[in-house]
Structure 1
């Protein structure tokens, strides 16, 4: 009888673990931004970015930063002026938030 109860409990626990969605530790959706390359303006995007991982955005350089971010992901994005998600200059963008052309950044971190 005890063996059957233990087996039922173990099977139930396994079923519960498999039924609960596992977080991929990612921000589902798209983070869009704008950057300049010479005289032309381009749109960049990060699709389903990984959470807790700093991303230096494509198109940003030491001279030119990216700007006008739109966080269309399920996670909070923190945009940093410096590469490597460091420095005192940053902006927090909740899911669905956008910032205008005046917000410049070079890296972003999602949570």
Structure 2
């Protein structure tokens, strides 16, 4: 909501106006705009030239196979995604080595 609408609500007694809207911290956060991301620094020219990986977990619910973590590997060039479900964090390096082979 803009400052004009907030002032109208404050005059009707529907909003506690505890600060000047020009300097109100909550108002300023609400008026912020999302900054777009710039283009990437790395440009890949072939598959598997640049990879992204992420480890998610632990899951609050264990899978039927006893897995609580998920490792994802994404190829920046092809955008192909590989997902691996793991029982513990210490399986990440071994899983990555197997995937790389």
Q: Check whether TM > 0.5.
A: no
Instruction: State the TM-score, normalized to the length of structure 1.
Output: 0.21
Structure number with larger C-alpha Rg: 2
Structure number having the greater strand percentage? 1
Higher relative contact order (CA 8 A, sep 6+): 1
